[in-house]
Structure 1
Amino acid sequence: MLMTVLDGSIVTVAMPAIQNDLGFTPAGLSWVVNAYLIAFGSLLLLAGRLGDLIGRKRMFLAGTGVFTAASLLAGVAASPGILIAARFLQGVGSAMASAVSLGILITLFTEPRERAKAIAVFSFTGAAGASIGQVLGGVLTDALTWNWIFFINLPIGVAAVFFAVPALPGDRRLGPKAGPDTLGALLVTSGLMLGIYAVVKIEEYGAASARTIGFGGLALALIAGFFVRQATAENPLMPLRVFRSRSVSGANLVQMLMIAALFSFQIFVTLYMQNVLGYGAARTGLAMLPAAVVIGAVSLGASARLVARFGERDVLLTGLMLLVGVLGLLTRLPGRADQVNYFTDLLPAMLLAAGFGLALPALTSLGMSGAEEEDAGLASGLFNTTQQIGMALGVAVLSTLAASRTESLTAAGRPTAEALTGGYQLAFAVGAGLIVAALTVAFTVLRRPRQTSEPNG
């Protein structure tokens, strides 16, 4: 999990070196990221269900193998086409392994306290991976070459397979007779692929362009067709019964809103430090380190105990309220570097990011708790898919709003730093609104289970 999450962010800081070495055009360079995101986001749901059919252990091992081999291909790539193809294959392998990871955890750890600990470790890995990737990518690129951001995956991937073979028990498979729903798979995969493509190209073509509207409309039509198919198919790829659980439906919706909002924290705080404060890559990584530390400390040290004592819902609500505070504080960032004091303007927000360490493990438990064992891979794939959809929404909505606000302030004659800060502040404010929406959904949909004093005879 660390390897696949880390790979989503480690490449970003190496992009200039990759462009110079391989001769990418500016438009072509974006596909080093987009090829991975499109494959990863569009295949999670299919991979999760296939894991239920053929065995989650098999899917995990196959996905890790594909990702590791693709990392080798990316590291030795000598042309843009080879690197983009390798990044697409990395996305395929990531989807295969990630889609079933949660399903494996909840079937391995059935005792509530142990499951909470396992999910806390899993959540910490995901939360910390992005931060580690930004720092590690800069170090490897500066000290060695960009190729090593991919080569570093080889020993991790080999070790993961080596330990997983004996450690993961064989799981119950539904078998080929239960599926797969080929038409449903084609509909959802093509719909998600087109939808993610439309989103990642908004910055280039605009949200109201015919290209964006056309691809987006076609994606929605394909996904709508997928849901119609699932309601009528004899062996659906995604049985709609999974949505009958309020915890599954509510947790996925809350996650989508939360991840979309936190895109503003992960990306725009970094941009603010570099573009307004003039921080370098290493200094930016160190400035973001307190957030990773508190998220890790809370995820690993406190979340499981708090969930056991107060329940997932209350811990989730507390975490979301802290996250509202994070983005609220960031809306007040000064627009001039000489007005900024890291310890009073940025550090408090970094420390309140502990709310993510509370919210994500509780949300993960809720998102998986309502699924039957035979649907564990599907529920895992669904949870990962809504995470990617949330990230895509964050990219589309917040990036567009921030850029538009910056352009209007620049046109009004404001200095560049102040104009950029104004765009970031708007993104933080909208992100805070998304967290409030997530908080509302969690409070109303994720109801506390009723306690019964006596069993019915």
Structure 2
Amino acid sequence: MPATPRSTVTVATAGTLVAMLSYTAPLGVLPTIARDVAAGPSAQSWILSASSLGLTTGLLTAGALGDDHGRRRVFVAGALVLAVGQLLGAVAPSPGLVVAGRVVQGLGSAALIACSLALISHVVPAGPERVRASGLWGAGLAGGIGVGPLLGTVMPWRLAYGVVGVAALFVALVTPRLAPESRADVARRPDVPGIVTLAGGLALLCAGLTELRTGVGALPLALLVIGLVLLAAFAAVEHRVAEPMMPLALFRSPALVAATVGALGTGLGIIAVISYLSTLAQRGLGLDPLQATLALTAWPVVSVVTSLLTRHLPERLSGAVRLVGGLVVVAAGMLLLTGLDPSTTSAHLVLATAVAGLGTGVVNATLGREAVASVPPALAGVGSGINNTSRYLGAAVGVTLVSVLTSRTGTERPAQLIANWDRAVLVAVALTVVCLLVVAVAESRSRRTARRQVTDDAPIAG
């Protein structure tokens, strides 16, 4: 079967869906996993966060490698690495190996997500078709987030790991026949100092955030400080080297700034809130794991629908305008998750998460398009990597804030847990609003620049 634009979009979307299945599968069954492998509170935090560490560390590097050495090649390699990570987690007898498997899964997922958008941008031209393809990609992202937690509740969690691993292996096997290879016309030399400082900085930052969830101490603070120092070193390296993996000049584009901050806002806000909501539903509202998971499925289901429908939005609406509108709706949905009490029903959670899903679908589809449209075609993988790194770094920070603000000791009574949750959600809403305001400012700057260009290009009368 020859590769076509449709088959490429299909396999890229499937890879993203599988990556999200892996990312979210443990969310609804963490207590069961912890019981089976004797994981304490600290190990449980690492089980939840290890995939984010792998994702955040690997996204930008995988995108740059794809641009220079073949996006399909890196995409397939990521699927194979994800399959290995799933197998490791499925047979892990101890929490340490479960965590190791999650890190490997995150690294594999990073290659899938970063290169998926680059594969699409290579075969689908900008315009209505790209909008439609980005909507499908966003639907795959939301679908994986929705189905993942259900897998662990409807079948043993080790079997769920195996199912996702088989799906990743299938993606690796069919991709060479369904998607063409693509790369930049001129390959850059490997930016080894950039790769090392970025990966080290992000890994230590995520590790520090994870340790911070179990209490403030010397170790998490040291990890955070060293991580920030390495990220500063990365910025200095990218400024000085002749062929940086992430040219800092890209951020002169208001469109890239808007897309990057919009992605950051989804991580700091709705992803962080949804990641903890299942725990709150069980510990604070008394729902069982399946009830809690089903109550949250409205968010991804509605997100899938709205992602697919974004192609009907008027073309005159810029990416930044769509992001601002979507984030406003997301913030409204999160506000509906405040004021809960032990008598709150699952129907209330469904309503709130459905409202958030309306905005999330628009945001996901828009980010999928803007991530690659706001950078030169030769750097499509880098653009995707920047965008998704922002999303999952934001999620790492956001989940830490929500976890610490909601449950500092892990022994709170339901009423206290719910009261703490209100404060955590309001912080997440505030961070989302800050991000959407930055996106709005970037849009205003972009419009002013466009008006100046029109004025400069206009012929002089007389």
TM-score by length of 1: 0.88
Aligned twin of 1:284: 292
Look up the SS of the partner of 1:330 in the other structure.
Answer: coil
Aligned twin of 1:390: 394
Aligned twin of 1:251: 259
Matched, 1:181 2:181: no
Aligned twin of 1:371: 375
2:354 aligned residue (351, 355, 360): 351
Aligned twin of 2:248: 240
> Does the 8 Å CA contact 1:406/1:419 hold for their aligned counterparts?
no
> Does the 8 Å CA contact 2:83/2:164 hold for their aligned counterparts?
yes
Structure 1 Cα separation of the partners of residues 311 and 410 of structure 2: 42
Q: Are the structure 2 counterparts of residues 79 and 406 from structure 1 closer, same or farther at C-alpha, using a change threshold of 3 Å?
A: closer
> Does the 8 Å CA contact 2:259/2:367 hold for their aligned counterparts?
yes
The total of aligned residue pairs comes to 438
Alpha-carbon displacement from aligned partner over 1:331-373 (angstroms, at most 9, x marks no partner):
222x232xx3554x43432331211112222233233221001
Greater shift, 123-132 or 222-231, is seen at 123-132
Greater shift, 154-163 or 37-46, is seen at 154-163
Aligned twin of 1:139: 154
Q: Are the structure 2 counterparts of residues 160 and 230 from structure 1 closer, same or farther at C-alpha, using a change threshold of 3 Å?
A: same
Matched, 1:157 2:157: no
> Does the 8 Å CA contact 1:258/1:434 hold for their aligned counterparts?
no
Aligned twin of 1:219: 227
1:443 aligned residue (426, 440, 454): 440
Unaligned segments of structure 2, at least 5 residues:
1-15
Tell me which amino acid in the other structure corresponds to 1:170: E
Tell me which amino acid in the other structure corresponds to 1:379: G
1:427-442 map, 5 Å: 427-442=424-439
Tell me which amino acid in the other structure corresponds to 1:324: A
> Does the 8 Å CA contact 2:286/2:342 hold for their aligned counterparts?
no
2:303 aligned residue (274, 295, 298): 295
> Does the 8 Å CA contact 2:273/2:402 hold for their aligned counterparts?
no
Look up the SS of the partner of 1:205 in the other structure.
Answer: coil
Aligned twin of 1:52: 67
Q: Are the structure 2 counterparts of residues 35 and 435 from structure 1 closer, same or farther at C-alpha, using a change threshold of 3 Å?
A: closer
Structure 1 Cα separation of the partners of residues 191 and 272 of structure 2: 37
Structure 2 Cα separation of the partners of residues 423 and 286 of structure 1: 23
Alpha-carbon displacement from aligned partner over 1:262-302 (angstroms, at most 9, x marks no partner):
134303432332122211111122222222222221111x2
Alpha-carbon displacement from aligned partner over 1:185-222 (angstroms, at most 9, x marks no partner):
1111111110110011111232xx22222111111111
Tell me which amino acid in the other structure corresponds to 1:184: G
Aligned twin of 1:413: none
Matched, 1:400 2:400: no
Look up the SS of the partner of 2:155 in the other structure.
Answer: helix
Greater shift, 317-326 or 189-198, is seen at 317-326
1:8 aligned residue (12, 15, 23): 23
Alpha-carbon displacement from aligned partner over 1:141-190 (angstroms, at most 9, x marks no partner):
2xxxx3212210243123312331122112134565x2211111111111
> Does the 8 Å CA contact 1:74/1:147 hold for their aligned counterparts?
yes
Deviation at 1:405, TM superposition (A): 11
Aligned twin of 1:317: 324
Deviation at 1:29, TM superposition (A): 4.5
1:83-122 map, 5 Å: 83-122=98-137
Q: Are the structure 2 counterparts of residues 226 and 395 from structure 1 closer, same or farther at C-alpha, using a change threshold of 3 Å?
A: same
Q: Are the structure 2 counterparts of residues 281 and 307 from structure 1 closer, same or farther at C-alpha, using a change threshold of 3 Å?
A: farther
Deviation at 1:8, TM superposition (A): 1.3
Tell me which amino acid in the other structure corresponds to 1:120: G
Look up the SS of the partner of 1:110 in the other structure.
Answer: coil
> Does the 8 Å CA contact 1:187/1:223 hold for their aligned counterparts?
yes
Deviation at 1:374, TM superposition (A): 1.2
Aligned twin of 2:200: 190
Greater shift, 70-79 or 236-245, is seen at 70-79
Q: Are the structure 2 counterparts of residues 169 and 381 from structure 1 closer, same or farther at C-alpha, using a change threshold of 3 Å?
A: same
Aligned twin of 1:125: 140
Deviation at 1:260, TM superposition (A): 0.6
Structure 2 Cα separation of the partners of residues 258 and 21 of structure 1: 32
Greater shift, 348-357 or 373-382, is seen at 348-357
Report sequence identity in percent.
26
Structure 2 Cα separation of the partners of residues 35 and 327 of structure 1: 25
2:89 aligned residue (70, 74, 96): 74
Tell me which amino acid in the other structure corresponds to 1:350: T
TM-score by length of 2: 0.87
> Does the 8 Å CA contact 2:55/2:109 hold for their aligned counterparts?
yes
Look up the SS of the partner of 1:310 in the other structure.
Answer: coil
Structure 2 Cα separation of the partners of residues 35 and 434 of structure 1: 23
2:315 aligned residue (305, 308, 311): 308
Look up the SS of the partner of 1:227 in the other structure.
Answer: helix
Tell me which amino acid in the other structure corresponds to 1:348: L
1:426 aligned residue (413, 423, 426): 423
Q: Are the structure 2 counterparts of residues 188 and 342 from structure 1 closer, same or farther at C-alpha, using a change threshold of 3 Å?
A: closer
> What is the RMSD of the two structures over their aligned residues, measured on CA atoms?
2.5
Alpha-carbon displacement from aligned partner over 1:6-29 (angstroms, at most 9, x marks no partner):
111112334444444444455444
Deviation at 1:256, TM superposition (A): 0.7
Alpha-carbon displacement from aligned partner over 1:223-268 (angstroms, at most 9, x marks no partner):
1111111111122121112212111122211221232111343034
Tell me which amino acid in the other structure corresponds to 1:439: L
Structure 1 Cα separation of the partners of residues 103 and 329 of structure 2: 36
Look up the SS of the partner of 1:446 in the other structure.
Answer: helix
Aligned twin of 2:414: 417
Aligned twin of 2:50: 35
Aligned twin of 1:168: 179
Q: Are the structure 2 counterparts of residues 30 and 316 from structure 1 closer, same or farther at C-alpha, using a change threshold of 3 Å?
A: closer
